[in-house]
Structure 1
Amino acid sequence: MANDTRTRILETTGLLLRQRGYHGTSLNDILSASGAPRGSLYFHFPGGKDQLVIEVTRASVADVTERLGEALAAEKDPAVAVHHIYQSVGRMLEDNQFSLGCPIAPVVLDSPTDVPELAELCRSAFEQWIGLLRDAFVRAGVPARRAHALALLVESSLEGLMVIARATSDRAPVQAVADEVAALIEAAVLDGAGRNRDAAISAVGISSPGT
């Protein structure tokens, strides 16, 4: 029963954070929505709201990181993998009736600089997600600098698209951008392959001057 109460408090907090952000979510809101007595909240989370929000955010980041890593590993072609990621985001938005987006964006927008651990957690999350994308592009042959820029493009477009889709109650913008971004990544991979091939040919020519 104690674990059920703790889980209920965590799940309720995660939902409210995604809807209202850090400052818009109070302990009274959490208690009211979860139906948990105040004493049980402080029993499970003696650090109060900050401890609770940090735990919820850490779990959300870990979940997104795992799913992103699995999606990128499931496809050899990063353009296909990224297209699937956009589709997954579109389905997520539609499934929750466009009421929820990125689990940490509302927290970031609230600028919780007075909770350094939470601010660092959000910064690290984006660093991880961008890094996973960048590494997938590099493995496909895209030069590191361009791979990083493409990863930033993918992550920033997803964050913006979630806001647009929620405002319009329409996943169509996500689908439209998915096609464009996938085409861009495919072109970058082909360009990288061409550069690598040319470099290999040049190296052979230099090492074998008599041919």
Structure 2
Amino acid sequence: MANDTRTRILETTALLLRQRGYHGTSLNDILSASGAPRGSLYFHFPGGKDQLVIEVTRDSVDQVTERLGAALAAERDPAVAVHHIYQAVGRMLEENQFTLGCPIAPVVLDSPTDVPELAELCRSAFEQWIGLLQQAFVRAGVPERRAHALALLVESSLEGLMVIARATRDRAPLLAVADEVAALIEGAVLSGVARQRADAAV
């Protein structure tokens, strides 16, 4: 029962954070939506709201990192992998009826600078995700500097497209950009491989 209550509090907080951000989610909101007594919340999370939000955000970041890493590892061609990622994000938005996007974007936009650990967690999350993309591009032959720029492009476009898709309640923008980004990555890979071969031939 105790574990069920703890899980319910965590799941409720995760949902509210994605909907309202850090400042828009109060302990009263969490207690009301989860049905947990206040004493249970402080029993499981003696640090209160900040401890709870940090734990939930860390778990969300870990989940996204795991899925992103698996998607990139599943395909030798990073252009194909990235195309699949855009499609998966579109499906996710449709499944939640365009009510939930990136799990940390609402927290970042809420500017939780008064909780340094939370701010650092969000910063490092984007660093991890961009790093995973960059590594996949480099493995395929894209030079380091361009791989980093492409990784930034993919991550930033996904974040922006989630907002557009939620506003329009349509995943079509994600699918349209997926084709363009995949073509760009494919071109970068071909260019990088050709350059490596030319250098090896010298």
In structure 2, the residue matched to 1:116 is 116
For these two proteins, the number of residue pairs brought into alignment is 202
The whole-number CA distance in structure 1 between the counterparts of 2:163 and 2:117 is: 26
- Pairing of 1:142-153 with structure 2 (within 5 A): 142-153=142-153
Task: Kindly indicate whether residue 195 of structure 2 is the aligned counterpart of residue 195 of structure 1.
Answer: yes
Task: Kindly indicate whether residue 172 of structure 2 is the aligned counterpart of residue 136 of structure 1.
Answer: no
- Pairing of 1:152-163 with structure 2 (within 5 A): 152-163=152-163
Higher Rg: 1
Gaps of 5+ in 1: 203-211
The whole-number CA distance in structure 2 between the counterparts of 1:45 and 1:125 is: 23
Per the TM alignment, residue 195 of structure 1 is displaced from its structure 2 partner at its CA by 0.3
Deviations 1:121-152 (A, max 9, x none): 00000000000000000000000000000000
Deviations 1:93-147 (A, max 9, x none): 0000000000000000001000000000000000000000000000000000000
Amino acid at match of 2:58: R
In structure 1, the residue matched to 2:36 is 36
Task: Kindly indicate whether residue 187 of structure 2 is the aligned counterpart of residue 179 of structure 1.
Answer: no
- Report the aligned-residue RMSD: 0.3
Q: Percent identity?
A: 88
The whole-number CA distance in structure 2 between the counterparts of 1:116 and 1:29 is: 23
In structure 2, the residue matched to 1:77 is 77
List structure 1 segments (4+ residues) > 2 angstroms apart after TM superposition: none
The whole-number CA distance in structure 1 between the counterparts of 2:95 and 2:137 is: 29
In structure 2, the residue matched to 1:23 is 23
In structure 2, the residue matched to 1:3 is 3
The whole-number CA distance in structure 1 between the counterparts of 2:180 and 2:14 is: 32
Give TM-score scaled by structure 2 length: 1.00
Per the TM alignment, residue 89 of structure 1 is displaced from its structure 2 partner at its CA by 0.1
The whole-number CA distance in structure 1 between the counterparts of 2:178 and 2:34 is: 37
The whole-number CA distance in structure 2 between the counterparts of 1:200 and 1:46 is: 60
Gaps of 5+ in 2: none
